[in-house]
Structure 1
Amino acid sequence: MALNVPGLIAVVVFYALTLATGLWAAWKAKKKEQRNRQTEIAIVGGRNLNMFVGLFTTTATWVGGAYINGTAEIVYLPSRGLAWVHAPLGFAVTFILGGLFFVKPMRSKKYVTMMDPLQEKFGQTMGSILFIPPLLGDIFWFASILASLGATVRVILDVQGYMSIVISACTVILYTLLGGLYSVAYTDVIQLFFMMITLWICVPFALLNSASENIAYTAVRELYQGPWIGEIQPSYIAKWLDDLAYLSLGGIAWQIYFQRVLAASSSKQAIITSYASGFLTAVMGVPSILIGAVAASTDWNQTSYGLPTPNERGESNMILPLILQYLCPTYVSVAGLGAIAAAVMSSADSSLLSSSSMFAYNIYKKLLRKKASDREILCVMRLSMVLLGSAGMGLAFLSSSIYDLWFLSGELVYALLFPQLCCALFISGTNTYGSAAGFFVGFVLRLLGGEPSLKIPPVLRYPGCTLVDGIYVQLFPFKTFTMLVSLSTIVLVSYLSQVLFMKKMLPIQWDVCNVFRKETPQHQQHELAEQERLRQD
């Protein structure tokens, strides 16, 4: 296949447009920085994003390269099908639950990052430990979506994938570094809008291609593979519900979500934006579902791709760009590539801003340099963007397991961070001891559950654990079980520690986290210390 010169020119124009928008937003942010606190402008956009920009950038929280590519792949896979597509429903539920329960307490207290209530409740050190899972998740997410873009460019333009990885990473780092949330939000608008238009343009061409059968016919009948509608076997219902709960609840405890809603001009606007984003997220999954259905209904021998099929070649993860390349005209496939590039960049800049914001504001300012100025925090934030972006770009070249690593880190966020956030916002009386115990128990339980995609066998085999193609698969909803055990541990250990210290069953000197010392009058602390010394003598 020869180099697709028109396609290459179109992609360059799109990147130039995105960069120009990001730089314009950076200039706008710079003007506001002269009148307001620089840190809050960079992280939450001065809390004055309008409804339109807020809707698009909040939707872009989860509608990205992995979303549109992954949805098409699951519909296409003979062993999965539409029945196993969780993302549109799961992320829609994420936004609705977030709007119902989490947005108001976070926005009304004017938190800057998701880590603020955790550090406020459990202390600076414990809050810093809780930063590790989302940090790893953001880096692996950044790497995996860059890798998917590289593979897509290789299919459609016949250009080496590493070039698109490097160019995309540098573009995202540049405009995010200069403009912070303003650049991310305004580029999200054009990226998401472009994605919506171009994917819907591609769908009719794919549906009407002569190599593809009517998808209504193949939805329930076997033709080139099993029906693309899929089925959920009774023994897999618990696993299906577990995966849905993981996406619905686990999608809340991410800074990339709260970064958007905390930037709204009011709590009411933030709630409405979250609800509307849930609806738009579900709608954005429809083109990918249709493209996946077309792929399952295509006789690949009638295309220049030929046989064996993408599934037999192990290229199922590339099914969306393959459909664009082999079932659509050249100019349409180029437009589709632009949609994928837009989706990737809208996700990449979010993860980059998320992790750098939490590091600069919650780790550097609150733990390492409490007297740091706004300018110093902003410099640290920009430096961390470069370092984290470079790390993600390097990992993108090892793409074989990066997406699996992100999925595992995402499960750790669900099992460890989501219950911590719930306790910090809604359950009074929880403390640092409970937080540490819940983190440890959840971490150990999740690792003992194994990870088939990374060839990590389960040490703890839950009921229904079965051997599939030589790999143990947990059919028990162990991810949600781990999250609930972690939540219960936080609450139980918190109240147990309160009883032990406040009833003087443990000496106050053992309160190494200073949770209860501050609740005991100073003279009483001295008296208790003296009593303990005499008892030991």
Structure 2
Amino acid sequence: MGDTLQILTAMIIYMAAVIIIGVTFARKANASSDAYFLGGRSLGPWVTAMSAEASDMSGWLLMGLPGVAYWCGIADAAWTAIGLAAGTYINWLIVSKRLRRYSEKAGNAITLPEYFSNRFHEKKKVIMTIAAVFILIFFTVYAASCLVTCGKLFSTLFGMPYIPMMIVGAVFVLIYTIIGGFLAESASDFMQAIVMIIALGVIVLVGTYAAGGLGAVIDNVKDIPGFLEFFGMATPQTVDGVQQAANGVPLFGEAAPYGIISVVSMLAWGLGYFGVPQVLLRFMAIRHEDELTRSRRIATVWVLISLTIAVFIGVMGRALYPTALTTSSDAENVFILLSTNLLPPLIAGFVMAGILAATISSSDSYLLIAASAFAKNIYQGLFRKKASDREVLNISRLTLLLIAVIAIIIALDENSVIFTIVSFAWAGFGATFGPLMLFSLFWKRTTRAGAIAG
């Protein structure tokens, strides 16, 4: 069996497993809009924790973050990872229990826009509409980043044009999300979180061995100015965006300064967690509030391990293949490069299913939350207040299709940098919902007018 066919076989087996999960939960998902959008508040602590982090990290974890480390060293990647790890812990610590409790008290809200609207006792549903519109915008962009990941993965592996491969990934994710709903998404995200961290672990162990040990990895990159500095950044010498090389050695300029403003900017990624719907909805969906303590510990450990390995994979990729990836966009293929070069094809296929896992676990969340925002909060909330559950579900599925089409259009540029796309949507959610979420949970005097203004 050819190498490409073995890789494809492994990935097909993985996708089949995901589809089986979707079909298994389809009947429960179709029971009501509550079941489809929030799983009837029935998640256990392990599924809550792992699905929250898998849907949060996306293909960004296996492609975007290692790509940044490969391209310009550890500063940007490491400070971002530190900010995200801290933000993860604090969000689970101070937000999760209150949101689980208050979302049920606020009219048993099953979406974030509905929670905000009920929390401030709206009649005209202005907050709900504004929140739903922002969710539609930012999650469409988020979904586009996942489709870019799919396109890069499949086109790199199989030598096929980027756009058809990206569309194939979009169709698979769309069908799966339409079939299964929140329970299927959460169950598969739990499985995909396991696949992701195993994939990271396999690559870091095999790669370190291939390089000759941890010391050899460090020795191979330590002479690059700024590459291993927390307060300096490597600057690849480029012509038209392509890094130059001489005698097989990549060219770098002097290390760029990396001051306190840059550090704070990267640490600020952690603040986005207070407004990220795909994580906040898991808080709302757990069975019992007191199980969130266990979920917090599980989620924090998973995040610490996965982020640390992801950054190191970028460093290791530069040590092993210093001139293989010559643009910032290509650098995001470092995980794929290591997998295909260091592992037997069949195992590489299963490892790279980790990228597919990260992409599916995020994109299905993004599509489902965006669809629920329109169907539940705009269509039913504003125009068809007496719409049946069946009607709301059908509208949400039509919305899924429309969002997917728009995301495909955004993702058409194969030179898009996943890290950049994600940073835009992440900042948007953090700024839009983060402050309002904290005020709604911790300050009783927060008013409807203040919520709208914020």
TM-score by length of 1: 0.72
CA contact (8 A) 2:29 2:35 kept: yes
1:351 counterpart residue number: 366
Q: Is the 1:292–1:319 Cα contact (8 Å) retained in structure 2?
A: yes
Asked if the contact 1:144/1:399 (under 8 Å) is kept, the reply is no
Aligned equivalents of 2:320, 2:221: Cα separation in 1: 12
Partner residue, 1:117? 115
1:67-116, CA deviations, whole angstroms, 9 ceiling, x for partnerless residues?
221221222223x3156424543333333222222222221131312223
- Measured after TM superposition, the shift of residue 189 of structure 1 is 2.4
Shift of residue 351 of structure 1?
Answer: 0.6
- Distance in 2 separating the partners of 1:399 and 1:126: 36
1:341 maps to which of 340, 348, 356 = 356
- Name the CA distance, whole Å, in 2 between partners of 1:42 and 1:235: 46
Distance 2:280 2:453 in 1: 26
Sequence identity, in percent?
Answer: 22
Distance 1:275 1:135, change over 3 A: farther
State which of 274, 282, 291 in structure 2 corresponds to 1:260: 282
**Correspondent of 2:446 among 430, 434, 455:** 430
Residue 108 (1) aligns with residue 101 (2):
yes
Residue type of the partner of 2:13?
V
Runs of 4+ in 1 over 6 A off after TM superposition: none
Secondary structure at the residue paired with 2:229?
coil
Match of 1:8 in 2: 8
CA shift for structure 1 position 253: 0.8
Taking the TM superposition and a 5 Å limit, the aligned residue runs for 1:71-470 are 71-78=65-72, 80-81=73-74, 84-109=77-102, 110=104, 111-120=109-118, 121=120, 123=122, 124-209=125-210, 212=211, 214-219=213-218, 222=221, 225-226=224-225, 228-233=227-232, 236-245=259-268, 247-298=269-320, 300=322, 308-311=323-326, 315-401=330-416, 403=418, 404-438=420-454
Partners of 1:164 and 1:314 in 2: how far apart?
17
Compared CA separation, residues 339 and 221, structure 1 to 2 (3 A):
closer
Offset of residue 207 of structure 1: 1.9
Deviation of the 1:296 alpha carbon? 2.1
1:6-59 CA-to-partner distances (Å, cap 9, x unmatched) read 2122222221221112111213444xx2xxxx1111111111112232232122
Shift of 1:230: 2.6
Aligned pairs, number: 420
SS of residue in 2 equivalent to 1:60: helix
Tell me, which stretches of 5 or more residues in structure 2 are unaligned? 233-256
Give the aligned residue type for 1:241: V
Bigger shift: 108-117 or 233-242?
A: 233-242
> Alignment RMSD, CA only?
2.6
- Shifted more, 50-59 versus 336-345: the winner is 50-59
Q: Which has the higher contact order (CA 8 A, sep 6+)?
A: 2
Asked if 1 retains the 8 angstrom alpha-carbon contact of 2:151 and 2:165, the reply is yes
Report how far residue 181 of structure 1 moved. Answer: 0.6
SS in 2 for 1:225: coil
8 Å Cα contact 1:92-1:277 kept in structure 2: no
Equivalent AA in structure 2 for residue 24 of structure 1 = T
Structure 2 CA distance for partners of 1:228 and 1:418, relative to 1, 3 Å: same
* Cα pair distance change 1:29/1:409, threshold 3 Å: closer
- Bigger Cα displacement from structure 2, 285-294 vs 224-233: 224-233
Q: Which runs of 5+ in 1 are unaligned?
A: 301-307, 439-537
3-state DSSP of counterpart to 1:324: helix
Check the 8 A contact 1:155/1:325 in 2, yes or no.
Answer: no
Distance 1:62 1:190 in 2: 14
Q: Deviations over 1:264-310 (max 9, x none)?
A: 1111123431342122122122332332121121255xxxxxxx441
Q: Deviations over 1:321-352 (max 9, x none)?
A: 12222344433432322111111111111111
Q: Deviations over 1:116-150 (max 9, x none)?
A: 33223284113312333332221111111211221
Kept in 2: contact 1:219–1:227 (CA 8 A): no
Tell me the CA shift for residue 203 of structure 1. Answer: 2.6
C-alpha contact 2:380 2:387 (8 A) present in aligned 1: yes
Q: Which is further off, 338-347 or 50-59?
A: 50-59
Give the partner amino acid of 2:10: A
How far apart are the structure 2 equivalents of 1:117 and 1:182? 20
